[in-house]
Structure 1
Amino acid sequence: MRVDLFDFALPQDNIALRPAVPRDSAKLLNVSGDRLSDHIVSGLPQLLGPKDILVFNDTRVIPAQLQGTRGEAKIGATLHKRVDLRRWQAFIRNAKRLRVGETVDFGMDVLAEAEARLDDGSFILHFLGDEPVELLLERAGTMPLPPYIASKRAIDERDADDYQTMFAREKGAVAAPTAALHFTDELMAALAEAGVGREILTLHVGAGTFLPVKVDETDEHQMHSEWGRIDAATADRLNAARQAGGRVIAVGTTSLRLLESATGEDGIIRPFEGDTDIFITPGYKFRAIDGLMTNFHLPKSTLFMLVSALMGMETMQAVYTHAIAGGYRFYSYGDSSLLLPEG
């Protein structure tokens, strides 16, 4: 499909630079089939049934943005995906000034060798020394806010908390699973009282989620892979919930993509541990999920393609037109939507 089919005009005023306070006071656009209704995230329990299951991603964002030097050249690095205990794949700014075998000094006694350059232009960085890389990043790194926020304001101490979900446990993401940023202890208690269940999986979101689609046709786009895990007990409970008439609702496109990667054509969710580069576009047949809670995405992005696959392109164009006109806030710190295709 042509990528320009997924374009739309978004006023800059609709881009959120800070999250709602409290988190569950953000707007929520309920899309049930082709019917739209406006709500607040704290009202989510009234929109779900007592057998429904929300599936959250417990990945934790690490301070994966680094600024350093190689000689007199300034080098920026955004870590994308862990290779092993000391190596990370990274997207490099000013990459023309960095060659394989050279060392980048990120300050605070954090050094990394450019060990290899991959076909997509990214590098494998080998962090030197004996200290765990996690400690090096805590010392020298900053939160990797999306470009559409970082280009408009400086990263500050608030972001260290604002850009983590309440479920964040497993360190390894370089982008937050932002749909879950809206949840609070109070909201989770209200959902439990309403009989709505929850399950947890892990997908370490990579920096590739921010990369623009630069090709003209979706078939030509190469998705970056990300590591995820669903254990056997979680898969069994999700399958049982669906068999009992409940709906599996992914909280965020990260949860959705991992669930779909773990599910066969028979609709059975299976244990999964490994890389996935699933790319969902219109025409895809969903196997694992019955709904999606997600923020509002960039024009021509793979994530807008995904929601268009779930709800239909015409419906999603109408949804985004409604959201823009209604003052909904877009992107990582923005408002939310609940997409239920069989409304």
Structure 2
Amino acid sequence: MDVKDFYFDLPQELIAQDPLEDRSASRLLVLDKKTGDVKHRIFKDITEYLRPGDCLVINDTKVIPARLFGVKKDTGAKIELLLLKRRENDIWETLVKPGKKAKPGTVIDFGDGLLTGTVLETVDDGNRLIRFSYEGIFEEILDRLGQMPLPPYITHQLKDKNRYQTVYAVHEGSAAAPTAGLHFTKELLKQIEEMGVKIAHVTLHVGLGTFRPVKVENVQEHHMHSEFYMVEESEAKKVNDTKAAGGRVICVGTTSCRTVESASTADGILQAKTGWTDIFIYPGYRFKILDSLITNFHLPESTLVMLVSALAGREHILKAYEEAIRERYRFFSFGDAMLITDSEK
């Protein structure tokens, strides 16, 4: 399977730079995964595609302001840091720019010494392990000094950094938002619950590995970075009860999808689990839990396009993307949404 099989030509002007004022006013492309038929709706119409007895699975991770700007203590040279994942209490795996200035032993000052980082070693892909020193609470210092780690295709900082959080974000730890969830308002979620749809919370701390380009020609040779996830007993029960009663499991975003597929048994029982996953879903994968998916429009040749192609078929996805481009849908993190479902079920 060649990575070029997942290429499509995307006009630059369709990359959304800002979120809409009303989260649920985004457009919604509804794709029938069996027939490839497409309908054009507004996101708040999602209620028309949900039924009592269904279960909506949401990822309640919270993005941390993980981009830090500091200086080398000895030379004053500027250094930019991105927190990727916490290894131990105060030791983080980080992406450092420029990397050549961050040899082991380097000490970096942030916020005039409010936070200090010491480079311990170089790990995979040139990332650095850094031990942080500070007084007080790390998260509060990060909130003061850090910026939201927006994707590189977003060209400016947000006026309101909460717009890069879902309304249900709870557990801090992500380097990127689970962006399909950005379309939901609290009112819309309440309406969905009142319809008799269960809402199950899972947590997957999104790492930048999700968005790394596939650098190998053969898709099967690509390796995903691992990400930490949690599934509580009560939430696994909601999903399993739904399946047992013949209801559908609809995941909000590829991160929720990868969480439930990672934590399930071969015969489709979702387990209460905590751990790390590097699951890579591409065409040929057999879904064990998920029936339908709410997702955004993804980058060409990305692992995320491969995941949605596993669910609906590459031809259906690329045809739907062609139509979305023709209809001037907005793409990527702050863009419009797609519901991949089976209208017969």
TM-score by length of 1: 0.95
The reply on whether 1:35 has 2:40 as its aligned counterpart is: no
Paired residues of 1:76 and 1:93 also in contact (CA < 8 A) = yes
Cα deviation digits, residues 223-260 of structure 1 (max 9, x gap): 11111100112112211111111100100111000000
CA separation of 1:125 and 1:265: change in aligned 2, threshold 3 A: same
**Counterpart amino acid of residue 309 in structure 1:** A
> What aligned pairs does 1:47-86 form with structure 2 within 5 A after superposition?
47-70=49-72, 71-86=75-90
The correspondence for 2:48, drawn from 34, 46, 49, is 46
Partner of 1:240: 241
Q: For 1:127, which of 132, 141, 144 is the aligned residue?
A: 132
1:113 CA displacement: 0.8
Structure 1: 5+ residue runs without aligned partners?
none
Q: Distance between the aligned counterparts of 1:78 and 1:207, measured in 2?
A: 10
Q: Which amino acid aligns with 1:170?
A: H
Compute the displacement of 1:111 (Å): 1.1
Q: Alpha-carbon deviation of 1:306?
A: 0.6
Q: Which amino acid aligns with 1:190?
A: Q
Superposed CA RMSD: 1.4
Q: How does 1:174-189 map to 2 (within 5 A)?
A: 174-189=175-190
8 Å contact kept, 1:310–1:341: no
What is the count of residue pairs matched by the alignment?
339
Q: Which moved more, 1:236-245 or 1:100-109?
A: 100-109
Question: What is the one-letter code of the residue matched to 2:63?
Answer: V
Q: What is the match of residue 99 of structure 2? A: 95
Q: How big is the shift at 1:163?
A: 0.4
**Distance in 1 between residues matched to 2:96 and 2:224, nearest whole Å:** 18
Q: Which runs of 5+ in 2 are unaligned?
A: none
d(CA) in 1 for partners of 2:305, 2:239: 26
Q: Deviations over 1:63-87 (max 9, x none)?
A: 0001122224322111111112101
Question: 2:146 is matched with which residue?
Answer: 141
Q: How does 1:1-343 map to 2 (within 5 A)?
A: 1-33=1-33, 34-70=36-72, 71-108=75-112, 109-149=114-154, 152-153=155-156, 155-158=157-160, 160-341=161-342, 343=344
| Amino acid aligned to 2:133 | L
Tell me, in whole angstroms, the C-alpha distance in 2 between the residues paired with 1:19 and 1:156: 9
Is the contact made by 1:78 and 1:207 (CA closer than 8 Å) also made in structure 2?
no
Distance 1:242 1:227 in 2: 25
Query: Secondary structure of 2:168's partner?
Result: coil
SS in 2 for 1:44: helix
Distance 1:328 1:21 in 2: 16
- Measure the CA separation in 1 of the matches of 2:186 and 2:222: 39
Q: Distance in 1 between matches of 2:244 and 2:51?
A: 15
Cα-to-partner distance string for 1:287-327 (whole Å, 9 max, x where unaligned): 01101100000111111111111111000001100111111
